[in-house]
Structures are given as structure tokens and as C-alpha cells.
Homo-oligomer: A and B are copies of this chain.
Amino acid sequence: MPGHGGSAAEVSGTFTWPVRVYYEDTDFGGVVYHANYLKFLERGRSEWLRHLGFEQDKLREQLGIQFVVVGMQLEFHQPALFNHELEVSVLVTGMRPASMIFDQSITDLTAGRALVCSAQVRAACVDSVTHKPKPLPREIVAELA
């Protein structure tokens, strides 16, 4: 992986994305503040979508949809430290007409790939104005089939 926070790898269906821990991410306990892991998880899902060819601003403008998290199950195994390089993984494990289920993890590459956080995330496809559920776009369903 080329140093600075870019590049993506796809291994047997799992997409990964690097994240660097900056000051903004930590709290006075000296480690990443727990709510900020959710940001990292979402960066992973956003980049996974982009990797498949879907830009979320376009999905919103052209199809009037966005994805919202409706449920999460989170385990925080070991804190991630300032300045460390992390890796977020994204794996789709379920699809329904208007939602998707993801298995995600965050590992600390600087700490020998220690598992930091594992998450199951349910994201619904909703109308970006009314926030009512809408079917997943056919293009995304086709891409994942």
C-alpha cells in the first residue's frame, strides 16, 4: 500500500480502504473517540460505492436517493492510536428490496493488523427529500448480483 492514505484492494469480495488517524479523531483518553469509528466505516462504504462506479452526489441528483444507516451492531475490541494507519473493510452480506447489510471491520495496520472494531451495518435506501424507503437502484442490484 503506497504510504499516504490512498489505494484500494479487493480480495474475494471484500473491499478495503485505508484511513489515517489524525488529531481530530482522538479524544483525551489518547485513542480514537468511539463515535469516530462510525465515520471511518462510512468512508469505507462510500469508497466501496465509488469503486463500483456509483457517486453518491449523482445518485442523489439523478435518482433522488441516498443511503441512511438504520441499525448497527458494534464491537470495540482494541483502541486505535493517534497517527496509526487503519484499514476499513466492507463486505455485503445481505440485500433486500430497499436495504443492504454490511459486515465491516477496522484493523490497525501500524499495530500489526490488530482488530479494532467489527460492525454489522444495515443501510436503507431512502428518498433524499422525504426520507421514505425506496427500492435500491437497479444498477446497484445488477452490479452486486
Q: Which residues of A contact B (CB under 8 A)?
A: 2-8, 17-20, 22-24, 26-31, 33-36, 38-39, 42-43, 46-47, 55-57, 66, 68-76, 79, 81-85, 87, 109, 128, 131
Contacts and interface: CB of A to CB of B under 8 A. Distances in A.
Given A27-B27, A28-B23, A36-B35, A5 B85 contact: yes
Nearest to A129: B30
Nearest 7 pairs between A and B by C-beta?
A6-B6, A4-B18, A26-B28, A35-B38, A57-B83, A24-B39, A72-B74
Given A4-B6, A28-B31, 12 more contacts: A3-B18, A4-B8, A6-B6, A6-B7, A22-B42, A24-B33, A24-B42, A28-B29, A56-B82, A57-B82, A68-B79, A72-B72
